[in-house]
Structure 1
Amino acid sequence: MISTYDLMVGHPFLAGMRPRDVERLTRWAHRAPLRAGTRIFEENGRAERFWLIREGGVELDTRVPGGGAVVVDTLGPGTVLGWSWLFPPYRWHFGAVTTSPVLAIALDGPGVRGLCDADPVLGQELTRRFMAVVVARLQATRSRLLGLGLDREIPAG
């Protein structure tokens, strides 16, 4: 069986990171197989981990007033799920559900935050990588909402 370290070092999100940093992250990681249809987290729930997706698919959704849940992005192999664990108040900004069986590596958010606090170089590198994810997800959300006609201006006051 492939080790957690090997699964992590081969993941695109961690590509180019120092091997010793990946090894240190591995201490806070474990395999996380998930069945299709599993609700991984709910919007506004407590964010305490993130996942490196190796196989399968996950949909990100958000609640739209008067419209229910809207899928804002679909993630697949080679992507990372979850960035809210890194930024206070540590609450999910979206919900997530698997669309097929998933093999992921789950990482403990508080443990990884501790590593980042102890090593500012690692902290800056992970923050830079996660900010790229945040920007991409917000752009995907914006595009999806514009496509639904939710771009109407709301009258002031």
Structure 2
Amino acid sequence: MGATNPQSLETRPVLAVETLRRYPFFAGLNPDTLNRVAEISHEIELPAGQILFQEGDPALNLFIVARGEMDIGFELSWGEKRVVDHVVAGEILSWSALLPPYRVTATAVARCDSRLIALDAEGLRVLRNQDDALGHRLMTEVARSLAHRLHGAHTQLAAVESH
């Protein structure tokens, strides 16, 4: 199964601010910022086993898992696929959408039927640069996500080396 173009998935229209407020990621943002984020957001549905993106793909969206769970993994040089992280509701995917060169660094696959909030990367970068509170929130979540993924990769490497 190849990577999915998020535009080809079942999508729901632009999100309502009330929908965004349900997620801790958006807590504390002012109403104007929430309105602007809602304008560049939509929900997508992924069936279990569906690839959302593959390592090296352009990072066109930042994703927040609304429901379900996603596996983050890599294909090793000898072809073995290795899952290094599981992303659950409330966590982000595709942090590369915020940092050059704007290409994803891993592959994401739906572990079960999942719903994601997709935030347009270009629009989000503009908002991040205009709104310090949003920029701080985004970069804090990116740092948290990277720390979690690094820990997962370290655990995987330690397991390989112990065998």
Moved more, 135-144 or 25-34: 135-144
Cα drift, residue 77 of structure 1:
1.6
Among 61, 70, 73, the alignment partner of 1:58 is: 70
Question: What RMSD, in angstroms, separates the aligned Cα atoms of the two structures?
Answer: 2.0
- Runs (4+) off by over 6 Å: none
Tell me the TM-score normalized by structure 2.
0.81
- 1:89 lines up with 2:101 in the alignment: yes
Trace 1:1-157 onto structure 2 (pairs within 5 A).
4-149=16-161
Identity of aligned residues (%): 29
Contact 2:63-2:93 at 8 Å conserved across structures: yes
Tell me the TM-score normalized by structure 1.
0.84
Instruction: Give the secondary structure class of the aligned counterpart of 1:100.
Output: coil
1:41-61 Cα distance to aligned partner (Å, 9 max, x none)? 001111110111111111000
Quick one: which amino acid aligns to residue 97 of structure 2?
A: W
Contact 1:57-1:102 at 8 Å conserved across structures: yes
Quick one: which amino acid aligns to residue 108 of structure 2?
A: A
Q: How many residues align?
A: 149
Q: C-alpha distance in 2, partners of 1:135/1:25?
A: 25
Instruction: Give the secondary structure class of the aligned counterpart of 2:100.
Output: coil
1:46-94 Cα distance to aligned partner (Å, 9 max, x none)? 1110111111111000122225210001112222112011110011111
Question: Which 5+ residue runs of structure 1 have no aligned equivalent?
Answer: 152-157
Q: 1:93 to 1:9 in 2, by over 3 A?
A: same
Q: C-alpha distance in 1, partners of 2:35/2:138?
A: 14
Quick one: which amino acid aligns to residue 22 of structure 1?
A: L
Cα drift, residue 150 of structure 1:
7.8
Instruction: Give the secondary structure class of the aligned counterpart of 1:72.
Output: strand
